[in-house]
């Protein structure tokens, strides 16, 4: 799994479930599937007070 795949999973969790808890749970799940060097951003999202806003901010920076 790549970091892009992990971000996509979190965006889908936000879109489908729309809750902070779902995003945190998904982030912790995909973090175990990433290489250790790429886990920092995902753990930052999981530990954030408002992961929905953070994942939306990240989505704005993605290319089409």
In tens, the pLDDT along 17-57 reads: 999 999 999 999 999 999 999 999 999 999 999 999 999 89
pLDDT for position 10 = 96
Distance CA 34, CA 44 (A): 14
pLDDT bucket at 64, cuts 50 / 70 / 90 = low
Number of domains in the chain: 1
- pLDDT at residue 62 in the model: 77
Asked if residue 17 lies in contact with residue 44, where contact means CB atoms within 8 angstroms, the answer is: no
Residue 43's domain comprises 3-60
The pLDDT of 2-22, averaged and rounded, is 94
């Amino acid at each position: 799994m790549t970091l892009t795949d992990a971000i996509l999973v979190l965006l889908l969790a936000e879109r489908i479930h729309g809750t902070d808890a779902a995003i945190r749970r998904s982030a912790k799940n995909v973090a175990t599937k990433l290489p250790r060097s790429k886990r920092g951003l995902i753990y930052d999202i999981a530990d954030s007070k408002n992961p929905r806003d953070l994942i939306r901010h990240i989505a704005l920076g993605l290319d089409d």
